[in-house]
Structure 1
Amino acid sequence: MFLAEISGNVNVIGYGIAALGPGIGVGLVFAAYIQATARQPESAGLTRVYMFMGFAVVEALALLGLVLAFALQG
């Protein structure tokens, strides 16, 4: 019986696990925006700006992790 050969890098697995954080962060940012808009619909324009800023910060951290995974590859 032959075992399948596993080739690749552990960094890819690490980034896959690390991508869970930004995924949860994006969900929390949009959930907070929806909740704030539901409580005070007249403030939707103001909170929309903060939603996009939070989304950009969380996605920047996700992209930084992706770049770091490729940088450590070798």
Structure 2
Amino acid sequence: MFGVPHNIVDDLLTNLCTFIEHRIFWGGKIMLKTIAMGSAILVQGIYVKTLPDGRMTVHVDGAHYSGMPISQAA
């Protein structure tokens, strides 16, 4: 499409659809959250849900990651 590599267009469309989906679902507010996966890996993404065991799920580039939420600094 117009000299742009196909995978870049797919990524842009996927991110746009995710953005629109979350804007509608959250009433226009996208909540970015940070989770810890293990002791050395932090992931920041769009909040999806909180699991019964206290872990939180976030959405990043078409994938979901679950881990313990990081509390906000004072």
TM norm structure 1:
0.35
TM norm structure 2:
0.35
- Determine which structure has the larger helix proportion and give its number: 1
Q: Highest CA radius of gyration, 1 or 2?
A: 1
Larger RCO (CA under 8 A, 6+ residues apart): 1
- Determine which structure has the larger strand proportion and give its number: 2
